[in-house]
A and B are shown apart, each in its own frame.
Chain A
């Protein structure tokens, strides 16, 4: 869980990134650029634990998913989970890591009640995957390790110091973890949060983890330092531990950047330490200083053999690879002609991309497919906003999954196609979607039932336009005099009369025609 043995100062400086601190900030001498590296722990969705045969636990009664191995009983020995290695390789492939032909497990020694053996089996200087990048952020390494047990402290303090008692649930202990360490390439709190969402989608697409922050299957630490803008050296870093939601990560990093900025601008020096961000109070407190840092006495785990990766394992991992968000965005842009923004929006939120593709594929027989860009706009811009009133702090999903709504993908496809063919107006389409979200159904039936079909440009509409001009004589006069904006009340009148079925462009054309303008 700690920093990798490679010192940050030895790494090549990352490519320059735009600095948020510069714009409108203090003078150049005082402007600082945040340098952020992330360490992410992902619980792997294997059937059994990392080093024993116990099933993973999902809220079972305490200490019911345990055995001599994950309880650290005397005489027990670990055996590495091949599925976890498989998932680790998939993660490595997804970020373009170099897969180590031979990697080894190390023991990381320290005492804590959630660590039954007195050491965590992790990887140290020979990890499973080295290097790579994702979404413009370089990956330093990916390695495998085991999760700790869950501690609950009884008493007022809520922490181990000052508690009346502490109880340990070993169900979680030994759950396989992949630790993904980035290079210090992140430059802002917002970028950290955005990038983590991309990582989460990637891992979810791979099927290697539930990646649920609230449930702790995705956890993030951030190493943060500041340096003068333009400098390529790294400042003293602090480590912000275990933030468990995207919102807290963003707030925590922002708070730590502000804290360090204040220290540096006051002429002070940042102290290397491990910090805790309290999302309740917004306070940052020290967990331990550099001097108090553990000496983990890493050494190769003698109970396990080196992990030797052969071609068969690589082939098996490759066979399980799926299209990842970055590649999907490219495909949306290239093959479907989506704008870059839409392509990323749909690809980086896999549930939107899946819904979008399902809708494209679900065009009923005899109907032509809706234009892809319009469909994309309607998925992201119309449907999702109608679904995201489900509460929560929005930190996890930032909206709801349309596949669990009442709107069938084929329905949205039909609706967008009707709109594109001008068989309904935009306003009518929105009304239909409102109905679909509430009660489902087929768009054509709703259009028929509610009489929302677009009026063609025939006599009926011309008559209504004429009536509207008569009722809005002042406005009509001003339009004649060249005030184009004055057309609003006239069109509004027509729309009221037609209950939105009229096409706005056609109405405007008729108005101008009848006024001779």
Chain B
């Protein structure tokens, strides 16, 4: 099943993708599947295990199922401090 979601990119991901947001039509079922698809498209080199995902402004597990209309936020490895 194909759904449409909004992907938002931060920091290194935003610079690499050359945009901070995009509408994505995808067959990905989970956030992890979608990361795999978008990492290939944009050349994200970070292992998913070092990154974080948030859905509709809440941190989420990578294996959470996507719903049409979700806003999916991709966070590269953090580096506060």
**Chains A and B bind each other:** no
